[in-house]
Amino acid sequence: MASFPDTLQWHELGPFTIFDMETTGLSPSRDRIVELAAIRIDRDGVETRFQSLVNPGRRIPPAATRIHHITDDMVAVAPTFRTMIPEFMTLARDSTLVAHNARFDLGFLQEGLSRSGYELWKGNTMDTLKLTRTAFAGLPSYSLQSLRGSLQLPDIDGEAHRAGADVEWTLHLLRKTLSALLARSR
């Protein structure tokens, strides 16, 4: 394992753009994004936030609404993915994209970019699910909601399974995980 200086802070390994999304279902090819939130952490620790509901251009299935509580009325006047995504991509430029269970979120991001005629994300990515399994082996569950309790992530405003709240918890998880891994490598 690499050795890092004692003074190195986790965010100096960035910049990172932590992101989370809520969707109409589980299939990137069949379903659509209904909410996207992100927090960019620059190397100096400065945080920039982004959040938007997204009009999926179709009805949100009741099963999805039961999970994230986003309704058709809430997204009726929201921007489409095509009009919202340039702002997110500008925020994420030259950073490492970070998500919890990143395969899910990246699949929807890439599918949405392709469908909208934008260039695919070709930058670095990081998965806090994999990092947490490395840093804190042996936990009973690695779901974000379970990790909130087992790793004592701070309480925040917002409800679980909404992109804004989940991205805040993922930020705290990334901070805790990278700090633990850095401490081990010194």
Domain boundaries, the chain: 10-184
- Multiple choice CATH, 10-184, 3.20.20.70, 3.30.420.10, 3.40.190.290, 3.40.50.1010: 3.30.420.10
β 33-41/125-127 pair status? unpaired
> Sign of the C-alpha dihedral, residues 153, 41, 39, 111?
negative
The answer on pLDDT for 177 being more than 60 is yes
Average the pLDDT over 79-93 and give the result.
Answer: 98
Residues with Cβ within 8 Å of 104's Cβ and at least 6 positions away in sequence, in order, are 26
Q: For the segment 110-121, what is each residue's pLDDT rounded down to a tens digit?
A: 999 999 999 999
Q: For the segment 14-67, what is each residue's pLDDT rounded down to a tens digit?
A: 999 999 999 999 999 999 999 999 999 999 999 999 999 999 999 999 999 999
Q: Would residue 69 show up in a list of annotated catalytic residues for this protein?
A: no
Q: Among 11, 100, 161, 172, which one carries the catalytic annotation?
A: 161
The answer on pLDDT for 86 being more than 60 is yes
